[in-house]
Copies of this chain bind each other. A is one copy, B any other.
Amino acid sequence: MENTGGASRGSQLLPVLGQLVRFLRQIESPDNPSPVSLAVLRRLDGDGPGRVTDLARLERASQPGMTQLVGRMEKAGLVRRAPDPADGRGVLVEITQEGRDVIARTHARYVATLDELFETLDPADRDAIVGALPALERLAAAASF
């Protein structure tokens, strides 16, 4: 099937993404880490301790902004700081168990919300989405950087 005259794939997928994200964003909880905070936690959890400058670059934040975010996260017990043994100027930021717990709780809330949404669909629609998941995962992977 060609795309002649029809809406582009992006223009069809965009409202779907927007609606689902708005739906997830409205989940309320005492935890509720900010999007960037959650992204930093996930990165530290997956890649191990990291330096402020690297976290700032990877999350597209300024260096002072990352210093401040890490400071708030440290105050909240989600990360700890340690001097970088390899560089006296550097600081290594490491996730704590509480930080991992926050990731897990947040993830669980989002998953439960999406799962409830799936239950409202016809089996045929569920199958269609499940069948497209590998392709969607590759689409998301192409968006990695």
Which residues on A are within 8 Å of B, measured CB to CB?
A: 1, 8-17, 19-26, 35, 39, 60, 107, 110-115, 117-118, 120-122, 124-145
Contacts and interface: CB of A to CB of B under 8 A. Distances in A.
A129 B139 contact: yes
Given A1-B130, A60-B26, A139 B16 contact: yes
7 contacts: A10-B110, A10-B118, A11-B111, A16-B136, A16-B139, A23-B140, A125-B138
Contact of A133 (B13, B112, B138, B141): B13
B1 A113 contact: no
Contacts of A145: 23
A20 to B, nearest CB: 6
Given A17-B20, A24-B17, A121-B135, A9 B130 contact: yes
Contacts of A112: 10
Contacts of A35: 22, 25
Contacts of A122: 138
A106 to B, nearest CB: 10
A126 B20 contact: no
A35 B141 CA distance: 24
A47 B35 CA distance: 29
Given A8-B114, A10-B113, A22-B35, 7 more contacts: A11-B114, A11-B115, A20-B143, A117-B142, A121-B142, A129-B136, A132-B136
